[in-house]
A and B are shown apart, each in its own frame.
Chain A
Amino acid sequence: MMNNSSPPTAIAVENLRVIRGSRTVIPGLTWAVPVGQIVGLLGPSGCGKTTLMRALVGVQIVAEGTVTVLGHPAGHRTLRQRVGYVTQNPSVYGDLTVTENLRYFAAVIGIHRRDLDAELGRVLGLVDLESHATARVDQLSGGQRSRVSLGAALVGNPELLVLDEPTVGLDPVLRRDLWALFRRLADAGTTILVSSHVMEEASRCDRLLLMREGGVLADDTLSGLLASTDSIDIEAAFLTLVDRAAQMQEARA
C-alpha cells in the first residue's frame, strides 16, 4: 500500500515486547513478511513462537511496539474476517460433527446462507475430510481433528493464515499433502505463517524466521541461511547461529 516498488507487506512487527507474568517472553522483535509467501517460524519449544502468533492475531497483551497485519493494527475489527488462526491444540467443538463445526465458524465469519454449502464443500475438500463430514469430532483421530481445526480457519478464504504447529502428529503422507495445500494457497496469494519445531520442515518454506529465547536468530531464505552459516542443514545452521550469538554476548561482556 505504502510502497509500490517492493512486494506488499503482510506482516510488519516493530520493536515488539511481550511480558507474560514476570517473564519477558519477547524482549524486542522487528520483522516483516511479504504477501503470498510461506514463512516458517522455527525454534525450540518455549522460544516465543506461540506468543508471537497470538500477538499477530490480536489476542496477546503487548507491552511495547507495533504489530501491523495487512495494513491494520493486529486484532483490528476488519482483520477478523481476513486472518485465519489455528491454535496448537485443535480448537473445535468435540461434541459437534465436522460439518456442524464448520457451519458455525462460517456463520461467525459471515458466509451467506446461499454460499454456505459450496464453502463447506470446498473446505472439506481442501482438508480431505469429505468422508468424515458427519462424524463427531471427538470420535476422529488426532490428525483428523487437527485438520478440522485447520478447515475451520480456511472458511472464508482468509488472506493470512497463522498456523501454530499444524503438522504435529500427522503421518508423512498427510504432512506432504498439507504442505502441498499450503503451497497452492500461497500461489493463490495467501500469506501463510507456519510454526514448527521440526527443523526439516524448513525446506518447504519460502522464508524462515529462526527464534530463540524470544529473539530473532535469523530472518532469511533457507539457502541464504545455509550460505551465511556455511552449514549443510538447518539444524547445523541453527547451532552455528546460537554459538555466534553467545560469542557476541561474551565479546560485549
Chain B
Amino acid sequence: MNLRLTFATAVRVLRQIRHDPRTVVMLIVVPCVLVGLLAWVYDDTPIFDQIGAPLLGVFPFVVMFLVTSVATLRERQSGTLERLLTMPLGKGDLIGGYAIAFGLLAVVQALVASGFSVWVLGLDVAGSVWLLVLVATVDALLGTALGLLVSAFARSEFQAVQFMPAFVLPQFLLCGLLTPRESLPDALEAVSNVLPLSYAVDGMRTLSAVSDASGDVLQDVLIVLGFVAAAVLLGSATLRRRTA
C-alpha cells in the first residue's frame, strides 16, 4: 500500500460523488427521513427511545452497503479497474481509497442523522451523544467495508443489488432488534454471534439504556472495527490482477 496513491484514489472517488449531487443529498437525507418516520410512527410512546438508536445504526449501514457495492461494481464494469491493474496501483490502494472516501461520507451521514435524531426528533439516550455518533459512524463504515467485499463477487448490477437482501436482511433479522439475541434458538444465537451487525446494534442498545456503559459500548465498537478491517483486507485479497 502507498499512502499517496490511496489518497489520490480517495480524492478521485470523492470528486466523482461531488459530480452527482443527488446521490450526496440522498445519502445524507434518507437516513434522517427514515428515523423521522420512525419517530412519528412511535409518537407518544417510549418505543422510539428504545429502538431509535439501534435503527440509527442500521439505516446508514444499509445505505452505505448499497452505495459502495454499486460504486465498485461500476469500476469493474467500466474497464477502469482493468486499466488501473496494469498501472502501478496496489490493490490495497484502490480498496483503501474507496474505504477512505466512503468512510468520510459515512462520518458526515452519521453526524447529520444523529444530530437530527437527538436535537430535532428528541431521541433520548442514556449514554453520551458523542458515543451515539461514534457508533453510528462505525456502523456506516461497516456497511462500506462489507459493500466493498461483496461487490468482488457480483458480476452484474442485478447481483449487486440482490446482495442487499442476501447479506443485510439476515443480519438484520438476527441482530437482536426483533427478538433479544439471548432468546433466539441456540443455533441462531450462535450465528448471530459471528455477524457484525449484532455488535453494531448491541452497542446502540446498551448506549440507549445504560448511562455509564461506555466500556461495554467501546468494546462493541472495537469488535465492529475488527470486522471492518477484516472485510477490507479480504476485499483486497479477492481482487486479482490477472483474470481468466
Contact = CB atoms under 8 A, between A and B. Distances in A.
A75 interface: yes
B183 interface: no
Given A58-B242, A75-B242, A91-B79, A105 B87 contact: yes
A91 B83 contact: yes
Q: How large is the interface on A (under 10, 10 to 19, 20 to 34, 35 or more residues)?
A: 20 to 34
Interface in B55-102: 78-80, 82-89
A107 B8 contact: yes
A109 B5 CA distance: 9
Contacts of A179: none
A11 interface: no
B82 A96 contact: no
Contacts of A110: 88
Interface string A8-20: 0000000000011
Interface in A83-131: 83, 85, 87, 89-96, 100, 104-105, 107-110
A21 interface: yes
A240 B12 CA distance: 51
A61 interface: yes
B4 A107 contact: yes
Nearest to A18: B244
A104 B243 CA distance: 24
Contacts of B85: 59
B13 to A, nearest CB: 9
A95 B19 contact: yes
**8 pairs of A and B residues whose beta carbons are closest in the complex:** A91-B79, A107-B8, A80-B88, A104-B12, A57-B86, A87-B79, A91-B83, A85-B86
Given A59-B242, A93-B16, 5 more contacts: A20-B244, A58-B86, A81-B87, A91-B80, A95-B20
13 contacts: A59-B85, A59-B86, A62-B242, A80-B87, A80-B88, A87-B83, A91-B82, A92-B80, A96-B16, A104-B8, A108-B8, A108-B84, A108-B89
